[in-house]
Amino acid sequence: MEKEKSEKKLGIALVGLGKYSAGQLAPALQETQHCYLAGIVTGSALKASEWKARHHLPDTNIYDYTTFDSIAGNKDIDIVYVVLPNSMHAEYVIRAAKAGKHVICEKPMALTVEDCDRMITACKEAGKMLSIGYRLHFEPHTRELIEYGRSKRFGEWNLIRAENGMGSTEGWRLNKEMAGGGPLMDVGIYCVQGTRYITGLEPISVTAQEGPKKSPERFKNIEESLSWQFEFPNGIIAQCKSSYADEYNLLRAEGSSGWVELSPAYAYNGIKGKTSEINLSLPEVNQQAKQMDDFAIAIKSNRPTPVPGEMGRQDVKLLQAIYQAMKTGEKIMIG
C-alpha cells in the first residue's frame, strides 16, 4: 500500500496558460517521473479545447477562473501551479490552499510581504505544502556554485556580481499594478536569489539607483533598469543590476583564493560555468521537470521543499528594500 502510494504520479493543474506554462511547464510535465499534467485553469475557451486535445485531459479537469474553487473535489489534482501575472499569485495560492491542494507559485511570490504571509498561513492552515518556482536550485551548475560557497572551495567570498537583463518586454509586465515593478520583479529577482544562494547568507543593507530611461513613454510607472548593492555579513559586497533595455546574464563570485562564474546563469538551458581553475562541464537538465518532481517527492515522502514560501517571502522583502533604497537614495538596513 505504501509502495503504491509513493509510486503514484501526483496530478498537477496549471493555472494560467501563458508563455511559461505552454513553452516550459507543459513540455517539462512530459518528462517528469513523479507528477503529470492532470488539469488546467484558463479563462480562454479556445485554449481549453486546444490543451484538452493536446494533453488528453478529461472535461472534468478543465476549469475557468469562476469554477476554480470546485477543484477541491477533484481527486486527480494534488498540486495547483499558479502561473499568472504577479499581482494574481496571492489570490490563487490562497484559493488553491483553501481547496485543499498543495501549491507551487511562480516568482515573484507576491507584490508585498503581507501577501506572502497570508499565502504561507493559508497553506499551513490547510496542512498543504507551498513552494516557489525557483527552478535553478535543481540546475547542476548552480548547485555546484552553492557547494563551492558552502565548502569555501575558493576561500571567503569578497565580491559577488549578479546581473540579469532582457532587451525588451511587453504586456502586463509594463503595468505596475500587475507586475509590482519593472525588471527587478521579473528578472532582477534571480540576482537577489543568486546572491543569497551563493553566499548562504542574508544581506544586511542595500543601496540602489534607477537607470536612465531610453523609452520613458513605455516605462511610465516602473523602472527600465536599476543597479543595487547588497552588503552581506563578513564584508561581502554584491553588485547587481537588472534591465528591460539591455541583455546580460551573469553570476560571478570572487573569493580569497579564486573565482567562479556562470554566464548565462539564469537561462532555461545552456548554462555555462567556469572557475579560476577549470571550465565546468556538467549535464544539461530540464530544470522545470526536476523542480516539479522534487516537489512531488517532497509531498510523497513528507519532507520539506528546498524552495518554500518562506524563501519567496524573503526575496519579496529584499525587493521591497531595493525599491525603498532606489526611491529614497538612502542606504536601507534590512532587519
**Residues engaged in binding ligand NAD (CB under 6 A):** 16-21, 43, 83-86, 106-107, 133, 135, 171-172, 186
Contacting residues for 91 by C-beta, under 8 A, at least 6 apart: none
Count other C-beta atoms under 10 Å from residue 118's C-beta.
17
Residue with cell 489534482: 77
For the CB of residue 132, give the shortest distance to ligand NAD in the complex, in Å.
Answer: 9
DSSP of 177-197, one letter per residue?
HHHSSSHIIIIIHHHHHHHHH
From CA 185, how far away is CA 86, in angstroms rounded? 9
Q: Are 162 and 195 in contact (CB under 8 A)?
A: yes
For the CB of residue 161, give the shortest distance to ligand NAD in the complex, in Å.
Answer: 21
For residue 82, give the nearest of 61, 65, 59, 66 by alpha carbon.
Answer: 65
For the CB of residue 206, give the shortest distance to ligand NAD in the complex, in Å.
Answer: 22
Whichever of 131 and 229 has its CB closer to ligand NAD, that residue is: 131
Catalytic residues: 107, 190
From CA 140, how far away is CA 146, in angstroms rounded? 10
Which residue is nearest to ligand NAD, using beta carbons? 18
Whichever of 77 and 105 has its CB closer to ligand NAD, that residue is: 105
For the CB of residue 284, give the shortest distance to ligand NAD in the complex, in Å.
Answer: 16
Whichever of 169 and 199 has its CB closer to ligand NAD, that residue is: 169
Whichever of 24 and 74 has its CB closer to ligand NAD, that residue is: 24
